[in-house]
Amino acid sequence: MATISFKKKEIEKFIGKEVPAEQIAHAFEMLGMPVDKCDEDEIVADITNDRVDMFTVEGAGRAIGQFLEIIKPRDYALSKSNLVLHVENVEVRPYIVAFVAKNVKLDDEMIRSLIMAQEKIHETFGRKRRKIAIGIHDADKVQGHLYYKQVKDISFIPLDSDKEMNIREILDKHPKGQEYRHIFEGTSNYPMFMDSKGVLSFPPIINSERTRLTGDTKNLLFDITGTSEHAIRIVANIFATSLADRGAVIENVELMLPNKEKRESLEYGRRETLSLKFANKILGIRLKPDEAKHLLARTGYKAELTEKKDELSIHVPPYRADIMHQVDFVEDIAVAYGYDRFKPRLPNLATNGSLSSQSKIDQKIRELMVALGFIETNSWTLTNEEMNKKALIDKKAVKIKNPRTQDFTMFRTDIAPSLLNILFENKTKGLPIQIFEVGRVADGEGRCFTNLCCAIMGEKADFSQIATVLFETKRFANVSEVYPDELEKAKKSKKEAGFRHLIDGRYILIKDNNDDRICGWAGEIHPQVLENFKLEYPVVMMEFRLQAKEEKKARKRKAN
Amino acid sequence: MKKETIDLDSLHQHDIKLLTALRKEKEDIESIAKRLGLSKDALIRSAFVLKDLGLVDIVEEAKVRYVITGEGNKNLREGFPEERLLSKDGTPVSSLSEEERRIGLQWAMKNGWVRIAEGKIKILSRPEKYDLREKLKAIEEGRDVDKETVKLLLQRKNIEETATKKFFVRITDLGMETAPSVMDRLDKEEINELTHSLITSGKWRNATFRKYNLRLKIERARKGAYHPVNEYIRQIREVFVSMGFEEMTGPEVDSAFWDFDALFTPQDHPARELQDTFYLENPEKFEYPEDVAERVKEIQEKAWKYKWDPEIPRQAVLRTHTTTLSAHTLVSLRKGKRSKPGKFFAIGRVYRNEATDFKHLAEFYQIEGIVAWKKATFRDLLGVLSAFYEKQGIKIRFRPHYFPYTEPSVEIDRWDEKRNQWIELAGAGILRPEVSLPLWGSYPVLAWGMSLERPLMNRLNLKDIRIPYQNDIYWIADSQI
């Protein structure tokens, strides 16, 4: 989305007549573009990324004029330029097209909107100039034919400079070079758009001073380079049609491709068919061909009925970047029809609603915990290594490659550190505190689970209290207790290493009855952990994995 | 205050004892305690009860006192280091520590007792009694000492300052008037607590129960409570289930394939950039199903006109939307050439690489619904949405918008009574055939999604989106949704 400001006087030139500002704003909104500001001087709208053609004032005015039925969709003509563009193999941005716009009247307002559209397209659709870059030149200052080359080094006077610079100097010292030089990381080959005399532009960095636009410029030469042929052609079409709407004559520059094939820079005249039956089926309405044609015209398409009675042949305007499928016409028909005119209805599809087996068990446990007097918490699933360290938990975790802050560097492996932190945050609120959380955790392999964790902090918090909670929950949760001294020796030492946060001899383990695996623990928190979390009273806790009963899962698998 | 309005019934025995024992002059609590043979703490409590009733005045006087430190005690007993520096005959004393010797020499020189000449200590004079030690003794005995000396002794850490509060009580005129009326209750046995033994022994029959002050501040119950976010989720789940939707669950940690590629997001899309999506260092990669990938590749290369890289989708990410679950579900509904219909929903955490502030979170909940049905139309979409929000009492309107993987797309606005305007609430649409065909194998699929926190903020009148996750237990217990 790009926020674009249009001068009302300027946009009205392309709408076709003077219209009240509110009417323009309403039309923008009906086309799906929220309006931030609208008065007799200026209209500011958020143009969505599918309608890059409305980034220009000409394109936006055209769309509004058509929607308000002030103007009709038009055809665009192309004439042929004398210029030929010789394209060589250019590694970093292989694609280029060019065209000339003749008899342009450059005034301040036009230059402002031209540069604004250029910048907004660079930012969004152009992926910050990496995918698309647009260069605009005074065509009358160009000498001989055009060339697109890959060079190691070359010197020229860049725009707004008075001395010649080589590539290294531009990338190191010129502000635009510094801003975009990352695009050339890992290569020493640079693209150059040139004429017989030298460099016209170094895309996507900077143009040459030699062909800069002045108050006297009448004819414009556009070069559009990039990494996607499809994208640069759309952008070329957008500028060519916008300037044609201003009365310019557009001259197509022929490309001589590296494989010696010839191709035109601008290719208009795309046609697609739309089945009216398909459109009506998707929308759930019954449009007649004439109605459909009328609605299509309001969104910028010329269309004719083909020999098949329910099929329309649609002229796709050269500037539309977003037409990939028949559904794209269908949406435009719906927009022109008006969303408020559709009669909502409920799908006639009978289904059984149901909660997931996980949600069912989560819900049961939550109800039980609240009945036992616990307050439910909900904390971040993202945490950091320091929290686990403080809780004496040492486990492999899901680790974030590009953390924004040191607070969120991993997915939590346990809920216990979150609850210890919540106890700290609430330590002035009287004792005892009883809290619990049913929340998500992940193991080091990236598998995600739901855990129940609860904590009691109080002067008299001890093992017996948490044992009571385990006793009450275990029947619902399908888990049972395992006494650490009953574990085999080898297993025991390994297990004990994982329970340093508990006082030895004052905790038990919890196993999942589905697979007899240890899935949790309950006991008194080690004073070292309390000290680390700045807690001053005893804390007892319990945490285990909450899983639905195996038999239920098996039944579900069968049903699938 | 008028006498009649005073609640004298709730007075304790101690309160009555204090009130009736007071004389006209102010008296300090300590001496009253001695007089009555009661504890000082109990009397202070009683004094404040009586003060609240206007029966007495309390004057607090803080008094500074000095106590002798360990160091001070040693100096009192053995003499200051400067005294102990030299024995009577002027030879150095070997029992002094290095530190004591240094301090001793320093003070002895300052006092003019010794001087250093040619590297040797020369004694000039020695007082019989050391003034400083005498004054320290005076402090120990509770006598007053000049300020200069106190300052010096504090500096030398021989004494420490402590403040003690003294309470003086003076009976008011109202107290004088009232005292006689409670005289008859003096020394009469009153029951504070009804105990097990009082009941079983039958002693309660002869007892008088002290009357309570029934208007005391009520203490909060320590009750269990649901977290408003989870409770809101439960309510929305109920709406979905009542409309015939089946719940989807699945992992927060997934591959870029399900988060982006399967949803027709081109591989150079800005949403995939590091500043928007959390990528993982561990695990770094996940595999994806080859058959689905084959279909995704074909449709993307055709539509986006580029070469689809099979490596990029293996990147492990924290899901940026719950639409990953819809994608997984749609694939599971595809059985050979058949595409089973269904209505599904999910509510789960999603992650964005955003700085957290009062209106942005790095992790938040998303609500997601889909209807996969060959006969579905745009009108069915609007119908499902109308019913879904009507059940929650939310007034909505539809307007066009752009979302990358739906066409037609709908933006849903909510009418905000308080602000008197329409507010963005949710996005919806019919999944593009480029999305639904490689996954479900058929078309159309209706879909919508929204964040949970925004309507929650509205329901709870929150100005800051982070409040629910600060987990203030009072806030949780008091926030009803």
The pLDDT of residue B2: 47
A262/B178: higher pLDDT: A262
The pLDDT of residue A349: 95
Q: Residues B112-151: pLDDT tens digits?
A: 888 887 777 777 777 778 888 888 888 888 788 888 888 9
Q: Structural domains in chain B?
A: 3-66+164-209 (1.10.10.10), 81-129 (no CATH), 228-478 (3.30.930.10)
Count other C-beta atoms under 10 Å from residue B404's C-beta: 19
pLDDT confidence of B88, banded at 50, 70, 90?
low
Question: Which residue type does A481 have?
Answer: E
Q: Residues A360-393: pLDDT tens digits?
A: 999 999 999 999 999 999 999 999 999 999 999 9
Burial of B191 per CB tally in 10 Å (0-12, 13-18, 19+): middle
Check residue B220 and report its DSSP letter: P
| ipTM of the complex model | 0.91
Averaged pLDDT of chain A: 93
Instruction: From chain A, pick out residues whose CB is under 8 angstroms from the CB of B248.
Output: 356
Residue B448 CA to residue B408 CA, distance in Å, equals: 12
β-partners of residue A438 are: A452
The pLDDT of residue B5: 61
| B residues 259-278 lying closer than 8 A (beta carbon) to A | 268, 270, 274-275, 278
What pTM does this model have?
0.79
Residue A52 CA to residue A234 CA, distance in Å, equals: 9
Q: Are B339 and B444 in contact (CB under 8 A)?
A: no
Tokens of B289: 């199903």
CB-based contacts of A151, cutoff 8 Å, min separation 6:
A167, A189, A190, A192
DSSP A472-531: HHHHHHTEEEE-GGGS-HHHHHHHHHTTTTEEEEEEEEEEETTT--EEEEEEEEPHHHHH
Whether B418 has a pLDDT exceeding 50, the answer reads yes
Question: Which residue type does A241 have?
Answer: T
The pLDDT of residue B176: 87
CB-based contacts of B31, cutoff 8 Å, min separation 6:
none
Q: Residues B345-400: pLDDT tens digits?
A: 999 999 999 888 998 999 999 999 999 999 999 999 999 999 999 999 999 999 99
Q: Are A508 and A396 in contact (CB under 8 A)?
A: no
The beta-carbon contacts of A289-296 under 8 Å, at least 24 apart in sequence, are A292/A333, A294/A336, A295/A332, A295/A333, A295/A336, A295/A337, A296/A329, A296/A332, A296/A333, A296/A336
The dihedrals phi and psi of A357, each to the nearest 5 degrees, come to -60, -30
> Chain B within 8 Å of A233 (Cβ-Cβ)?
no
User: Average pLDDT, stretch B328-347?
Assistant: 94
Q: Residues A502-520: pLDDT tens digits?
A: 999 999 999 999 888 899 9
The pLDDT of residue B94: 67
> Chain B within 8 Å of A295 (Cβ-Cβ)?
no
Instruction: From chain B, pick out residues whose CB is under 8 angstroms from the CB of A356.
Output: 247-249
pLDDT confidence of A293, banded at 50, 70, 90?
very high
CA-closest candidate to residue B328, choices B278, B284, B262, B246: B262
Give percent helix, percent strand, percent coil of chain B, each to the nearest 5: 40, 25, 35
Residue A139 CA to residue A526 CA, distance in Å, equals: 79
Whether B103 has a pLDDT exceeding 60, the answer reads yes
User: Average pLDDT, stretch B18-44?
Assistant: 85
User: Average pLDDT, stretch B215-219?
Assistant: 76
Of the candidates A339, A348, A398, the beta carbon closest to that of B280 is on A398
B57/B101: higher pLDDT: B57
A350/B8: higher pLDDT: A350
The pLDDT of residue B89: 62
The pLDDT of residue B234: 97
Q: Residues B147-182: pLDDT tens digits?
A: 888 898 888 888 988 877 788 898 988 888 888 888
Residue A284 CA to residue B9 CA, distance in Å, equals: 80
pLDDT confidence of B13, banded at 50, 70, 90?
confident
Give the distance, in angstroms, between the CA of residue B221 and the centroid of all CA atoms in the same chain: 18
Whether A394 has a pLDDT exceeding 60, the answer reads yes
Question: What is the distance in angstroms between the Cα of B438 and the nearest Cα belonging to chain A?
Answer: 15
The pLDDT of residue A39: 93
The pLDDT of residue A491: 66
The dihedrals phi and psi of B399, each to the nearest 5 degrees, come to -145, 155
For testing contact with chain A, the best of B231, B252, B421 (most A CBs within 10 A): B252
The pLDDT of residue A496: 61
Count other C-beta atoms under 10 Å from residue B416's C-beta: 13
Instruction: From chain A, pick out residues whose CB is under 8 angstroms from the CB of B410.
Output: 339
Q: Residues B280-292: pLDDT tens digits?
A: 999 999 999 999 9
Tokens of A3: 């926020």
> Chain B within 8 Å of A143 (Cβ-Cβ)?
no
Tokens of A108: 């301040």
> Chain B within 8 Å of A359 (Cβ-Cβ)?
yes
Residue A529 CA to residue A433 CA, distance in Å, equals: 17
Which percentage of chain A shows pLDDT scores above 90?
Answer: 86
Left, alpha or beta for B174 (phi > 0: left; psi -120 to 50: alpha)? alpha
Question: What is the distance in angstroms between the Cα of A397 and the nearest Cα belonging to chain B?
Answer: 7
The dihedrals phi and psi of A175, each to the nearest 5 degrees, come to -55, -40
Q: Residues A416-443: pLDDT tens digits?
A: 999 999 999 999 888 899 999 999 999 9
The pLDDT of residue A550: 60
Give the distance, in angstroms, between the CA of residue A203 and the centroid of all CA atoms in the same chain: 26
Q: Structural domains in chain A?
A: 2-67 (3.30.56.10), 79-259 (3.50.40.10), 271-341 (3.30.56.10), 357-551 (3.30.930.10)
Q: Residues A147-166: pLDDT tens digits?
A: 999 999 999 999 988 899 99
B430 with A282: Cβ contact below 8 A = yes
For chain B, what is the total number of helices (H) and then of strands (E)? 18, 19
Q: Which helix (H) or strand (E) holds A451?
A: strand A448-457
Question: What is the distance in angstroms between the Cα of B368 and the nearest Cα belonging to chain A?
Answer: 14
The pLDDT of residue A215: 85
